[in-house]
Chains A and B, each alone.
Chain A
């Protein structure tokens, strides 16, 4: 039990006692970057590379202050082009009508609702990481929370697009909101579609506030650095000077007069924990309400009581997968990022994927079992058709991607090999899209075999969905370019130097007593 915590080693080295090699590497070269220790007496370091406050600021700010690599320009051009195609498809839809989609009579809800639910689901990881993991004091979240929250915001934007454009007569899109129209007809408050507007709207607002509020100190850091660079600038052309001024002004406006005073920090921490508390039930409520869209309808295969928690588990599952899809490449592309996003962070996320994937699998099994147990022939038929009917391939894909594929993370190799994690994360995203597709296409075979039909998407459906991916990526690339991608102040908080009580100084705690 006398193992020395690596945190203490870091403290000593940073105090200049022992200028040793880069921390982590010497811990155990056998396992990744040294954070994968399995000794229960050792807490692996959260930040590697002997980072001090200054080097954390320098590294994270450099990602926005330096010109982006060529990959960024290329990725931005590609994704904005794809986004443009998506926008054209939406324009075509608005000009022509929803007939351009593959909707037919039994399947009145097609890709639009599938995409909506998929995107909202993805938008769950950010708030889970920032709020729920914050409440559970999971310090490893500090290196990924900003990233995940940004992803959440952009995913919810993509999600919100689909209900807006699916209404057919776009000039009636305001019907989504509970505004009495000119005939004083109120929307149906007992419709879960209306609750969706409230749930998603609230979620978006709170997530945005949470993200922005958390970013204010970091924006102030960027502001101060922009001003300092402006003052120090001796050379440079007029253009560079103008850009510098715009930067300083923009960060200055966004940082709302933050001056790093201790009073600011005190208010900030209180506000942060309050917002985390408010955001936590929202993570559960949003997808529960989305699940009500289906579960309140008395359609076989839709009306089942496990839907709310099952949708929430699936949402966290897909959200974490999307964070990994973005994080694994970013970790390679940004210099120094691996010191913050350690192998252990990736491993933890993989484990959460396995847990939530297994929860989803548990729900599939329960649904199937209870459909049989219910002795309701419609219910049973709905599930037989799901698994063996015309959409068997979709059901098979869903099951394989969502239940089987995350089980590979039981192997240590799988959850500590970034390229492999990347592949599985994409597989999971595909699986979760198919889960919603399977649920929606349950409509194709309803009570009367005479009215059965087969739904297939048109090229407009496909390109609109691909376009939404482009919009998402465009927004995300802009975020990576212009905003602090990692929470600078929070990462500083979890390095050993930031602990005022220190890992070795418990005398003070003792005096305070119980």
Chain B
């Protein structure tokens, strides 16, 4: 290890790089139980409630699924980018991203109810909605039920294979120490990113944009990406802060790494605002009804407070708080901001999905059902994630760039 510090071996000892077998098991199980309970309440509420209640529960559950999917996709894309740019500083950080990425099968499980009840979520699947609708007819070659499922299968196949292969290289390197696995993962990431760009964008079109199937925006795929990439970075920072508090990863993940993750969180916050603003602005300026209707739905008395909260909470607040260097280096401030960004990313997802629910053309106000239905998958996801983290070493033990990461410093 060319750049390793003198005490590298001590830092990489199992005591510093693994969680005790039962550490965090209780909160993990607690999160899963809470999530299952929330889902059970949501299901009960949906079954006992009227037609609208069913739609509300499903839409919010869909938002919860998209939130967890975004975290996995975002983590996978970050892993690929870090491989592609030959990053050295992030070698000790990467395993946490890989943990989130490796939950892709869970996302697939979350997708099953969405697939089953798709006609209640996507209006275009409902013949009552589309009868005599010339706009739907024009795009029905794409928006039709069989093709919808074929595409979903293709996306998940690509994501599952890529995440599994990337994860396997990293885990196997822990055992065999073959440094050329890093080169292989890097090669995979090149075409992997190309596949991710196309599948993530079209998944955004399919599962978010087509909720309002008359509406269209070329930026939408990028908007989906811009949201989840920032959330995935924030989750990574949050996990590392929690692990440091648990007394592991001493000297492996330092304030320097948190500082750099804070910079990325700041950058992706600005990127989200740039994409969100550009999309809104061009539609506002063009002022054509077929485009403005999407924002019009979110400008009603009911949804306007959420829209404004999003602009402040997802952009202005983290932008200002993540700007000063000492704050980005403070685990407390950074941890709070990571939770904050994750919260507002959840709101963003909800804000895209939920206003599409309507009964007889009237909008439906948020209820308690929204909270439980959306929290269900998210809590289960975090619970399973906690188990995954405890199940394997916290850093890629034999990564050839571990030394560089351990001595990483931000001088300027």
Task: List the interface of chain A (C-beta within 8 A of B).
Answer: 1-5, 8, 38-43, 135-136, 269, 273, 281, 284, 288, 292, 295-296, 298, 303-309, 358-359, 362-363, 365-367, 370, 372-376, 410, 503, 506-507, 509-510, 514
Contacts and interface: CB of A to CB of B under 8 A. Distances in A.
Given A366-B221, A514-B251, A514-B254, A40 B180 contact: yes
Contacts of B407: 506, 509
A3 B5 contact: no
Interface in B43-100: 85-86, 88
B412 A509 contact: no
A375 B135 contact: yes
A309 B194 contact: no
Interface string B243-282: 0000000010011000000010000001000110011001
B299 interface: no
Contacts of A306: 217-219, 222
B139 interface: yes
Contact of B2 (A5, A38, A135, A375): A5
Contact of B5 (A135, A366, A509): A509
B35 interface: no
Given A135-B263, A363-B218, A366-B221, 20 more contacts: A5-B3, A38-B183, A41-B179, A288-B278, A295-B282, A298-B288, A305-B217, A306-B218, A306-B219, A307-B278, A309-B219, A309-B275, A362-B197, A366-B218, A367-B218, A373-B142, A374-B216, A507-B6, A509-B5, A514-B251
Contacts of B201: 362, 366
Interface in B362-412: 398, 400-401, 407, 409, 412
B222 A1 contact: no
Contacts of A358: 194, 197
A210 to B, nearest CB: 16
B2 A40 contact: no
Contact of B282 (A284, A296, A374, A509): A296
Contact of A370 (B190, B197, B217, B285): B217
Contacts of A4: 2
Interface of B: 1-7, 85-86, 88, 134-135, 138-139, 142, 177, 179-180, 182-183, 186, 190, 194, 197-198, 201, 205, 216-222, 251, 254-255, 263, 270, 274-275, 278-279, 282-283, 285-288, 290, 398, 400-401, 407, 409, 412
Contact of B274 (A295, A308, A363, A410): A308
B2 A373 contact: no
B323 to A, nearest CB: 10
Contacts of B221: 366
A292 B270 CA distance: 19
A6 to B, nearest CB: 9
26 contacts: A8-B2, A39-B183, A40-B183, A40-B400, A41-B401, A43-B2, A273-B412, A296-B285, A303-B286, A303-B288, A304-B282, A305-B220, A306-B217, A306-B222, A307-B218, A307-B282, A358-B194, A358-B197, A367-B218, A373-B139, A375-B134, A375-B139, A503-B3, A506-B4, A507-B6, A514-B251
A298 B291 CA distance: 11
A305 B179 contact: no
B2 A296 contact: no
A459 to B, nearest CB: 37
A305 B282 contact: yes
A-B pairs, top 3 by smallest CB distance, nearest first, are A375-B138, A306-B218, A305-B219
Contacts of A1: 1, 177, 179, 398, 400
A362 B195 CA distance: 11
A510 B254 CA distance: 12
Given A40-B179, A40-B186, A298-B288, A510 B274 contact: no
B289 to A, nearest CB: 11
B222 A376 contact: no
Nearest to A277: B323
**In the complex, which of the residues B182, B198, B205, B412 has the most CB atoms of chain A within 10 Å of its own CB atom?**
B412
A185 B254 CA distance: 59
Contacts of B219: 305-306, 309
B115 to A, nearest CB: 22
Nearest to A512: B409
B278 A309 contact: yes
A4 B177 CA distance: 17
**In the complex, which of the residues B2, B4, B139, B218 has the most CB atoms of chain A within 10 Å of its own CB atom?**
B218
B211 to A, nearest CB: 14
A348 to B, nearest CB: 9
Contacts of A309: 219, 222, 274-275, 278
Contact of A362 (B5, B198, B285): B198
Contact of A506 (B3, B220, B398): B3
A305 B278 contact: yes
Contacts of A273: 412
B361 to A, nearest CB: 21
Nearest to B88: A43
Nearest to A302: B286
A307 B222 CA distance: 11
B140 to A, nearest CB: 10
A366 B223 CA distance: 13
Contacts of B86: 40
A223 to B, nearest CB: 27
Given A40-B182, A273-B412, A305 B2 contact: no
B218 A370 contact: yes
Contact of A305 (B4, B180, B254, B283): B283
A308 B226 CA distance: 14
A282 to B, nearest CB: 13
A306 B198 CA distance: 15
A168 B219 CA distance: 36
A510 B217 CA distance: 52
A305 B295 CA distance: 14
A308 B290 contact: no
B180 A376 contact: no
Nearest to B323: A277
Given A292-B282, A295-B282, A305 B218 contact: yes
Given A281-B270, A284-B274, A296-B286, A2 B1 contact: yes
A41 B2 contact: yes
**In the complex, which of the residues A39, A288, A303, A306 has the most CB atoms of chain B within 10 Å of its own CB atom?**
A306
A41 B138 CA distance: 55
B278 A370 contact: no
Contacts of B278: 288, 305, 307-309
A10 to B, nearest CB: 13
**In the complex, which of the residues B139, B190, B194, B222 has the most CB atoms of chain A within 10 Å of its own CB atom?**
B222
Contacts of A510: 5-7
Nearest to B89: A137
B65 to A, nearest CB: 23
Nearest to B253: A514
Nearest to A376: B290
A269 B222 contact: no
A503 B282 contact: no
Contacts of B142: 373
A511 to B, nearest CB: 11
A10 B30 CA distance: 56
Contact of A3 (B2, B85, B255, B286): B2
A372 B218 CA distance: 11
Contacts of B270: 281
A40 B401 contact: yes
A309 B271 CA distance: 10
